[in-house]
Amino acid sequence: MSPNSLVCHQNSIPSMTGLGAPSNVTGHKFGTRRRSRSDRPGCRRPGLLAPAGRAAREHRPERLCEAVYAHCRTLQIEPPAAKRVERVVRSALHSYEDQLQEQALARLGAAGLAQIDSLLTLPGGQHRGDRSRHHLIRMTQVSSSCATSRPIPAGRAWRVCCSRSPAATHPAGDAA
């Protein structure tokens, strides 16, 4: 007995309730067969996603989902649940991105990576962006130390406030 005939035989057996499983009803209606262990996405991933290689390069999950459903129609098997198809597609895209990043690193080489890393480091050994980050942290500390719920006026409004209360000082001026 071939595996396909075994699958068809399993589909033809009604359930104990006499109604059959929903997948069996769908299979009878549309001429599809139930998925077997060999049809699992993990076992047939190369075949399942091979027609969608272009879609994977385009990095569009919706087109990849359509390719999975089209491949299932070609094999005349019932497609997995929508959430499972989404998981398979996301996993395939993640694998593709990992492969792409490894490929980019291999093409760039150690010298290219060192050149790219040099863009993130200043000649003095200080990391680029640290100065602005420290400044941002300092400004955050100053603004949090200002225990006022009113918004700090700026420009002409601040000059008006200063003219009314000469003792007032701008928090930003204190920070500077």
Partner 1 sequence: MTLPDDLFADVSPHLVYAYRQRAAAEPPSELRGHADPVRATLLGALCLLRSREITDGLVDLLIGTIHKFAPEPTSG
Tell me how far apart the alpha carbons of residues 176 and 85 are, in angstroms, rounded to a whole number. 56
Q: What is the DSSP letter of 80?
A: -
- Kindly state the smallest distance separating residue 10's Cβ from partner 1, in Å: 42
Nearer to partner 1, 126 or 169 (CB): 126
The residues of the shown chain that bind partner 1, judged by CB under 8 A, are 57-59, 98, 100-102, 104-105, 107-109, 112-113, 115-117, 119-120, 127-130, 133
- Kindly state the smallest distance separating residue 135's Cβ from partner 1, in Å: 13
The token duo for 111 is 């010298």
Nearer to partner 1, 128 or 159 (CB): 128
Nearer to partner 1, 87 or 133 (CB): 133
- Kindly state the smallest distance separating residue 120's Cβ from partner 1, in Å: 5
Nearer to partner 1, 55 or 72 (CB): 55
- Is residue 61 exposed (0-12), middle (13-18) or buried (19+ Cβ within 10 Å)? middle
- Kindly state the smallest distance separating residue 30's Cβ from partner 1, in Å: 34
C-alpha angle 158-163-169 in degrees, rounded to nearest 5: 55
Tell me how far apart the alpha carbons of residues 152 and 144 are, in angstroms, rounded to a whole number. 12
Q: Which residues pair with 77 in a beta bridge?
A: 33
- Kindly state the smallest distance separating residue 23's Cβ from partner 1, in Å: 36
Tell me how far apart the alpha carbons of residues 169 and 162 are, in angstroms, rounded to a whole number. 8
- Is residue 74 exposed (0-12), middle (13-18) or buried (19+ Cβ within 10 Å)? exposed
Nearer to partner 1, 47 or 112 (CB): 112
